[in-house]
Structure 1
Amino acid sequence: MICQNPAMKTIGPWRPGLCRQLQKAFVTGVQKLDRTELETACEGYSNIIESMEGCTLYKGTLSSGVEICVASTTITRLKDWSKSAELTFHNKIEMLSRVNHKNFVNLIGYCKEDKPFCRMMVFEYTPSGSLSDNLHVQGLEHLDWSARMRIILGVAYCLQCMHDLTPPVVPMDLNTKMIYLTNDYAAKVADFSFWKEFSQKAKILGVDRSRRCVVPDKETNIYRFGVVLLEIVSGKLPYSDWAERFLKDDENVSRMIDPTLKSFNQNELDVVCEVIRDCVQKNGSERPTINKIVGKLRDGIGISPEQAIPRLSPLWWAELEILSADET
């Protein structure tokens, strides 16, 4: 639990302006938001979800009760924020705003101010933590086999949507730490890794990494998806020799299953293992497209796109659907 700093200044009463801005964003796209309103929503930026290289994630609550996640750069001075960083920031906003899928941690707003300096993006909030935490942290609710299969299909359907966009949107660093879970444990793919390109660490080293930011490609994304699948079914971190040995030995398929699982479906496991082997082939050109992967997984596991999304839509999704209907 995060405690309030007693020395922190008192935040003034909440004003409804941000809610109106977000309502507009639900229909018209990503909106520029006010820093002081976000400060109020995030309890003076004391409510930290997670810190990662180049970025801090805060939980916020709007006056309407809608929960949000605010991602803020760790850069604190305008002079440390280059022109190329600003261009990359705006390009990322434009890119993420094109993804509209219920298995994606959707971008709903951004904030940029120079005095005091801030660069932030506002996303929907996912309350059940990362997939990595739910697989590896003791004390969290156990993910059974059916939940893991639903997560796999949710990620696959989201990637299919992203890859099919023109131009495609490919997550920079797909892994279980960048997949979050809703209240009913539906998967939400996030893309926060790009913030490290602006990190203070890069500035100290004298390198503006945003100038050489490498655009991820579909083949690499498919490989990382295969690694994610291996981690989901094994319950182990996949960066070890055992993973490579498993991929070469068909007889080891059942032995690599997460021992904490009380049961699993052998036919579904066989399908997932076949997809893993296809995804992690050394020659990228031989890896399947996400459309072929989705077809194989859906045929073998039988979870539709409708079954993979959150059963209870977050409040902001419900408002989006209502307001979109009003606009038409």
Structure 2
Amino acid sequence: MAFCSFLCGGKTSNRREHRKKSSMTWRVFSLKELHSATNNFNYDNKLGEGGFGSVYWGQLWDGSQIAVKRLRVWSNKAEMEFAVEVEILGRVRHKNLLALRGYCAEGQERLIVYDYMPNLSLLSHLHGHHLGECVLDWGRRMSIAIGSAEGIAYLHHHATPHIIHRDIKASNVLLDSDFQARVADFGFAKLIPDGATHVNTKVKGTLGYLAPEYAMFGKASESCDVYSFGILLLEVASGKKPIEKPSPTVKQAITDWALPLARERRFEEIADPRLNGKYEEAELKRVVLVALICAQSKPEKRPTMLEVVGLLKGESKEKLSSLENDEMFRPEPAMSCQGLSGPDDNSDSITEEKDSRVDLKQETNSLPEAAAHIS
């Protein structure tokens, strides 16, 4: 089977050695153990459901809480996504990446076990189940922005080999008990060989977050994640979705809305109204400018994620001043902002075969908890 050939067989000793060197703590779970933890995958334990299957809350014998992702239907495609996610999560360990607890592969059952995130996903707080609670004050939003950036920077610059996530979005940023960000869902991730600038691949991901060069030509690189992260930053600052519908017949990308306001230095109009004006003006401006520079159409002009982390932290006044004076932020009322926009489509998400995953409307209204544990 694809899973066994990918993770087992000749790679077993290598994997064990890698796990030993990296002090990894994940393990193989038995199906019986996960049945017991989730009360036989009881409906009352279901956190949500997506295109992949269902996610369940569970509790192990030692009292620790887990989230169990259970594939709905076995297939070669699902098997490969499962294997890729387990392999990549088994390689990495960072405070801002969702930790792998283990996996189970018995018969045609494929399950991945993660730490349970009690505050669910960023999506659920910005657009979903927890929208009305408004617990994301500005301090927490800045922490989430910086933490997410540090997690992605680790994938791009410190993991060996480097990793492209390919599906950075609000539902894939989970929040622990302290509202610290954990980037999740590595089913679409790609390993980048040393020396390679990009990989050519079929397009996967969610519309509204896709970099233009990736959506049109299938060129996946670290810069594609940077673009997606720029969209995510604008979401965090504004509370708006990546693609809004001002009217039934009109769609507007968040960048097309935010860039003219940034050029006119009207940052207060970009801030999420639910903040009630309670934010640091300098930090808001910094987040918006970094977001837009990340989400520009030309990949060669986007910063690296290491640079993004430094900019968000305000580590260099010179770099921030240079960013503010970038030509894209010069007032040009007659200039179209379409160069920032991603591709338009009647659906909100696409995979390799262009079939629908979980669209943004579903994520917002019916899958807050599922989104919190890998969409």
Q: Same fold (TM over 0.5)?
A: yes
Supply the distance in 2 between the matched residues of 1:268 and 1:301 (Cα, whole angstroms). Answer: 13
The equivalent of 1:317 in structure 2 is none
The equivalent of 1:278 in structure 2 is 293
Q: 2:142 aligns with which of 129, 140, 149?
A: 149
Tell me the C-alpha RMSD between the 2 structures: 2.7
The equivalent of 2:180 in structure 1 is 186
| Residue pairs, 1:1-328, within 5 angstroms | 27-46=23-42, 47-75=45-73, 80-82=74-76, 85-114=78-107, 117-137=108-128, 138-164=131-157, 165-191=159-185, 194=188, 216-240=220-244, 241=252, 243=254, 244-249=256-261, 250-251=263-264, 252-262=266-276, 263-299=278-314
User: How many pairs are equivalent?
Assistant: 257
Supply the distance in 2 between the matched residues of 1:301 and 1:65 (Cα, whole angstroms). Answer: 45
The alpha carbon displacement at 1:30 in A equals: 3.3
Instruction: Assess, with a 3 A threshold, how the Cα gap between structure 1 residues 101 and 295 changes in structure 2: closer, same or farther.
Output: same
Supply the distance in 2 between the matched residues of 1:290 and 1:148 (Cα, whole angstroms). Answer: 18
The alpha carbon displacement at 1:27 in A equals: 4.3
TM-score by length of 1: 0.72
**Cα-to-partner distance string for 1:284-326 (whole Å, 9 max, x where unaligned):** 1211100111111112699xxxxxxxxxxxxxxxxxxxxxxxx
Question: Is the CA contact (8 Å cut-off) linking 1:145 and 1:261 kept in structure 2?
Answer: yes
The alpha carbon displacement at 1:219 in A equals: 1.2
The alpha carbon displacement at 1:213 in A equals: 7.2
Instruction: Assess, with a 3 A threshold, how the Cα gap between structure 1 residues 45 and 187 changes in structure 2: closer, same or farther.
Output: same
Supply the distance in 1 between the matched residues of 2:103 and 2:294 (Cα, whole angstroms). Answer: 35
**Cα-to-partner distance string for 1:103-130 (whole Å, 9 max, x where unaligned):** 111112111011xx20111111100111
**Cα-to-partner distance string for 1:50-82 (whole Å, 9 max, x where unaligned):** 11111311111111111111111111xxxx522
**Cα-to-partner distance string for 1:132-154 (whole Å, 9 max, x where unaligned):** 11122444342111110011011
Supply the distance in 2 between the matched residues of 1:237 and 1:52 (Cα, whole angstroms). Answer: 19
Instruction: Assess, with a 3 A threshold, how the Cα gap between structure 1 residues 136 and 213 changes in structure 2: closer, same or farther.
Output: closer
Determine helix, strand or coil for the equivalent of 2:314.
helix
Question: Is the CA contact (8 Å cut-off) linking 1:96 and 1:169 kept in structure 2?
Answer: no
The equivalent of 1:207 in structure 2 is none
Question: Is the CA contact (8 Å cut-off) linking 2:52 and 2:71 kept in structure 1?
Answer: yes
Instruction: Assess, with a 3 A threshold, how the Cα gap between structure 1 residues 119 and 295 changes in structure 2: closer, same or farther.
Output: same
Determine helix, strand or coil for the equivalent of 2:67.
strand
Q: Which runs of 5+ in 2 are unaligned?
A: 1-19, 190-200, 205-218, 245-251, 318-375
Instruction: Assess, with a 3 A threshold, how the Cα gap between structure 1 residues 216 and 71 changes in structure 2: closer, same or farther.
Output: farther
Determine helix, strand or coil for the equivalent of 1:248.
helix
Determine helix, strand or coil for the equivalent of 2:313.
helix
The alpha carbon displacement at 1:230 in A equals: 0.4
Q: Which runs of 5+ in 1 are unaligned?
A: 1-23, 196-210, 303-328
- Between stretches 287-296 and 252-261, larger displacement belongs to 252-261
Determine helix, strand or coil for the equivalent of 1:38.
helix
Q: Which amino acid aligns with 2:113?
A: V
Supply the distance in 1 between the matched residues of 2:165 and 2:94 (Cα, whole angstroms). Answer: 14
Supply the distance in 1 between the matched residues of 2:23 and 2:281 (Cα, whole angstroms). Answer: 44
**Cα-to-partner distance string for 1:197-225 (whole Å, 9 max, x where unaligned):** xxxxxxxxxxxxxx957695211111110
Question: Is the CA contact (8 Å cut-off) linking 1:160 and 1:290 kept in structure 2?
Answer: yes
Instruction: Assess, with a 3 A threshold, how the Cα gap between structure 1 residues 118 and 212 changes in structure 2: closer, same or farther.
Output: farther
Instruction: Assess, with a 3 A threshold, how the Cα gap between structure 1 residues 88 and 261 changes in structure 2: closer, same or farther.
Output: closer
Supply the distance in 1 between the matched residues of 2:316 and 2:117 (Cα, whole angstroms). Answer: 25
Determine helix, strand or coil for the equivalent of 1:68.
strand
